[in-house]
Structure 1
Amino acid sequence: MLQTERAVRGYLDHLTVERALSVNTLVSYRRDLDRYLEFLAGAEIHSLGAVTATDLTTLLSGLRTGDDAHPPLSASSAARTMSAVRGLHRFAVREGLAADDPSREVKPPVPPRRLPKALEVDEVERLLAIPAADSPRGLRDRALLEFLYGTGARISEAVGAAVDDLDMEDATALLRGKGGKSRIVPIGGYAREALATYLTEGRPTLVRAGRGTPAVFCNVRGGPLSRQSAWTILHRAAADAGLPVEGPRAVSPHTLRHSYATHLLDGGADVRVVQELLGHASVTTTQIYTLVTVERLREVYATAHPRALG
């Protein structure tokens, strides 16, 4: 076995044992590194220590242009492959398989900035009206969707919320976000009403099916609702509302969070206030939503102004 192949195998074992990456992530790493091994074999390079920055620049160019055996990769896919290659070379230096890391000198392609997907207000209203409030599950589903849109919570924050995190009198919720950071956000009137009805008429029935849980949102066995189950609720409601559930504009758990931010900015909210509401560490992360509103203004202008086109 060539040294390059042994290095890749060792690196993948490291990712599996030490980093405990998911199966899907490991599959992606293996696919990208197999492509790299193929490139090295074609260039008759049999040691990672023999790889130069020029070789990696050639690799990157080939990823972007493609060849007879491979279609050209997008900037984001090429950047992902180069990320795997950089990780491999760092590992090789740490393990004494190479003296230096040539990948430090090669800048990966910068993927184009993707604007967050946001629903129109009427689309959100259609979505939120789908769950029928005639059963404990229906009350839960409506409260969940209203909570996601009414607070801008991440799906993990919603299913991780406990009853004691809600202050129904003050209409606020304590959300436990990334990195152990918490924030208090207001609950909108519609979300507050849906939550109040669910907590008094729906949740007690669900909780009685199990041993009880402090979670706001419960499954039919009385335990906390999982992220996957919450996603399924949203997916089913989106399909019933006639919203896309496949393709680039498919409604996902993050869609309501994106819509929450976009609609706040459309309504005149200050970007730093939205930053606090979303729990972003940096306002730079939030500012991408301002691009959405500018794009929407541009669309309206192009269709409404008599001299927009010419």
Structure 2
Amino acid sequence: MTSTAIPANRADVEAARLLLNRMGISIADLQCEQPTPKPVPTFEQYVEVVSAAVSDSSRRAYGSYWKRALTKWAGRPLDDIKASEIESLVEEVKATRVLRSNGRGGHGSAENMIAALRCLYRRAVADGYVTEAQNPALKVAKPKRLQSTRRALADARLAEVNAIAGTTGDDPALDALLIRLHTETACRRGGALALTVDDLDEEQCLILLREKGGTSRWQPVSPTLMRHLRQHADERCPEGSVQLLRYRDGRPVTRRRYDHIWVRLARHLPWVAKQKVSTHWLRHTTLTWVERNFGFAVAREFAGHAEGGNDAGSTTTYVRATIHELAAAVAAMTGEPHPLAT
């Protein structure tokens, strides 16, 4: 059976030509060969690319999850992975997770697995290897984040933490300094570990905190804490060194030191072990106190939260606290006058 072409109506031809002219397309454009599609890399090839492109913190957070995905899909192209396969991998990660004392049924592992794949596929979309509609990681729902069990410590409990940290262990001076630093500034671990010798403004009692998201801010500290930070730098930082916080032998402190502190505190304080208290509880403690005594705007600035968040609407853009107000909060908290407090 043969088919015969239906002759085009003259008016249709003229309408098509007019439409092409308006779109800036010529007959030659329609006749030219279509470009060869860009080859889609395999999962293994692209994980290497993304790992080199992300920040150190993202690499630490997602690296182990990318490795887990490689055990399944190393040689497969990115556009070959289905949403159902991601869901299956997420369930496998939950079932085979490392059981920790503060675990919550694998909820965090599932959330991190999906976040790691979304990070990878977001860049694949930007690089043109898949379209937004083809992104399988967006088709898998993230588990709803559970409410945090962290809370502010009572004054008596905080005093116990300071007492044990400053009188036990192989380096109580370092541990006491770390606890006080986090209590006064509500900084994150990353901010403390990123401190350099040049980040101390002794005249104005300020330290420069560099934290997640590439943010940085000058944070007021008490004269006592500044004095101890300066002494620590003079005694432990070799000439030409960058990181401020160090062991007695000059080695820079890492995140492992925090694990060591809280394992020791848990041995001495049963409530620390039972409630799985960590350094982040100190941040909750300080920010709760600041909010109760100096208001939300000061607490928000004290926490170093970026502008543009949806924590309290757009009004927060216009009611930022000043560094003098932060200094006043530190002075009230520590009972010491601060040069910038008003």
What are structure 2's unaligned runs of at least 5 residues?
Answer: 1-40, 98-104, 313-342
In the other structure, the counterpart of 2:262 is: 235
Aligned to 2:42, the other structure's residue is in SS state helix
Report the Cα distance in structure 2 between the residues aligned to 1:219 and 1:131, rounded to whole angstroms.
15
Q: 1:74 offset after TM fit, Å? A: 5.5
Report the Cα distance in structure 1 between the residues aligned to 2:122 and 2:213, rounded to whole angstroms.
29
Deviations 1:175-210 (A, max 9, x none): 23345543233325xxx435535745x664445xx4
Cα–Cα, structure 1 residues 103 and 262, in superposed 2: closer, same or farther, change >3 Å?
Answer: same
Deviations 1:103-161 (A, max 9, x none): 37625234224326235222221111224479994333322211110111222322333
Q: TM-score, normalised by structure 2?
A: 0.56
Aligned to 2:43, the other structure's residue is in SS state helix
Is contact 2:206–2:218 with CA below 8 Å preserved after alignment?
yes
Cα–Cα, structure 1 residues 262 and 241, in superposed 2: closer, same or farther, change >3 Å?
Answer: farther
Report the Cα distance in structure 2 between the residues aligned to 1:93 and 1:211, rounded to whole angstroms.
44
Cα–Cα, structure 1 residues 258 and 32, in superposed 2: closer, same or farther, change >3 Å?
Answer: farther
2:142 aligned with 1:109: yes
Q: 1:219 offset after TM fit, Å? A: 2.0
Equivalent in 29, 43, 56 of residue 66 of structure 2: 29
Cα–Cα, structure 1 residues 16 and 153, in superposed 2: closer, same or farther, change >3 Å?
Answer: closer
Report the Cα distance in structure 1 between the residues aligned to 2:235 and 2:208, rounded to whole angstroms.
24
Equivalent in 219, 224, 227 of residue 196 of structure 1: 227
Q: Which amino acid aligns with 2:294?
A: A
Is contact 2:266–2:272 with CA below 8 Å preserved after alignment?
yes
Q: Which amino acid aligns with 1:141?
A: D
Cα–Cα, structure 1 residues 151 and 59, in superposed 2: closer, same or farther, change >3 Å?
Answer: same
Report the Cα distance in structure 1 between the residues aligned to 2:168 and 2:79, rounded to whole angstroms.
67
Report the Cα distance in structure 2 between the residues aligned to 1:169 and 1:182, rounded to whole angstroms.
19
In the other structure, the counterpart of 1:160 is: 194
In the other structure, the counterpart of 2:278 is: 252
Equivalent in 132, 138, 149 of residue 172 of structure 2: 138
Name the % identity.
19
Larger radius of gyration: 2
What are structure 1's unaligned runs of at least 5 residues?
Answer: 1-5, 39-45, 288-310
Report the Cα distance in structure 1 between the residues aligned to 2:126 and 2:239, rounded to whole angstroms.
52
Q: 1:79 offset after TM fit, Å? A: 4.3
Is contact 1:261–1:274 with CA below 8 Å preserved after alignment?
yes
Report the Cα distance in structure 2 between the residues aligned to 1:161 and 1:237, rounded to whole angstroms.
24
Report the Cα distance in structure 1 between the residues aligned to 2:116 and 2:297, rounded to whole angstroms.
35
Deviations 1:264-306 (A, max 9, x none): 33x343222111111110474767xxxxxxxxxxxxxxxxxxx
List aligned pairs for 1:89-104, cutoff 5 A: 91=124, 94=127, 101-103=134-136
Report the Cα distance in structure 2 between the residues aligned to 1:217 and 1:99, rounded to whole angstroms.
44
Deviations 1:220-257 (A, max 9, x none): 1235x32335425632552354156768x433333322
2:295 aligned with 1:270: yes
Q: 1:28 offset after TM fit, Å? A: 1.5
Q: Which amino acid aligns with 1:196?
A: R
Cα–Cα, structure 1 residues 245 and 286, in superposed 2: closer, same or farther, change >3 Å?
Answer: farther
2:39 aligned with 1:11: no
In the other structure, the counterpart of 1:218 is: 246
Q: TM-score, normalised by structure 1?
A: 0.60
List aligned pairs for 1:50-69, cutoff 5 A: 56=83, 58-59=84-85
In the other structure, the counterpart of 2:19 is: none
Report the Cα distance in structure 2 between the residues aligned to 1:180 and 1:50, rounded to whole angstroms.
34
Is contact 1:136–1:198 with CA below 8 Å preserved after alignment?
no
Is contact 1:119–1:255 with CA below 8 Å preserved after alignment?
yes
Q: Which amino acid aligns with 2:296?
A: V
Q: Which amino acid aligns with 1:12?
A: V
